[in-house]
Structure 1
Amino acid sequence: MSKTLVMNFLNESGKKTAIRVNNVKEDVTEAEVKAAMDVILAKNIFATTGGDLKAKDSAQVDDKNSTELAVK
C-alpha cells in the first residue's frame, strides 16, 4: 500500500495549488504536516503560475491499494 501526502495551499491569485509527497510514513501526524507546510510557506521555495504560495488550505493522506494480476 502506498500513501501520498497532499498539501494544498492558496497562491497569490487565490487559486489552490497542491504539493504531493509520495511514500509518506505510516504514522505522520497533523502537527508534522502543519510544521512542514509552515516551512514551505516561510522558505518560499515553490513557484506557481499564480504567484507565491501565501496560505495553507488543507492536507490529506491518500491511500492507494493495488493488486497485481498475473497475466503472462
Structure 2
Amino acid sequence: MKKLVMKFKDAAGDTKSMTITDVKDGLTQANAEALMDVLIAKDVFAWGPESLSLKEAASIVETTETELFDIEA
C-alpha cells in the first residue's frame, strides 16, 4: 500500500503531519505541492487554535503486508 505523508508547519511553528492512504501511481512532487497549497489556502485543517501555514515536506511511504494466518469467526 502507498501512502502520501505530508508535513506542514502551523502558525506557531509546530510540525503537523497528514497521511492519505491508497495513493495512485505516478504522483509527482508538483501534485503533492499543489494539494498542500490548496489545503493551506482553504484552511481545511487546523490542529488546535493554529492553522497550517507552510509546506515542510512530502513523501510516499510504501508498506508490504504479509499475512501469517487469518482466523475466521
> TM-score normalized by structure 1?
0.90
Once the two structures are superposed, what CA deviation does each residue of 1:26-67 show, in whole Å capped at 9, x if it has no partner? 211111001000101110010112500010000001001011
Normalised by the length of structure 2, the TM-score is 0.89
Letter paired with 1:48? W
Structure 1 segments, 4+ long, off by >6 Å, are none
SS in 2 for 1:21: strand
Structure 1 unpaired stretches of 5+: none
- CA distance 1:11–1:69, change in 2 (3 Å): same
Change (3 A) 1:50 1:18: farther
**RMSD, aligned CA:** 1.3
Q: CA deviation at 1:69?
A: 1.5
Number of residue-to-residue matches in the alignment: 71
Q: 1:22: which partner in 2?
A: 21
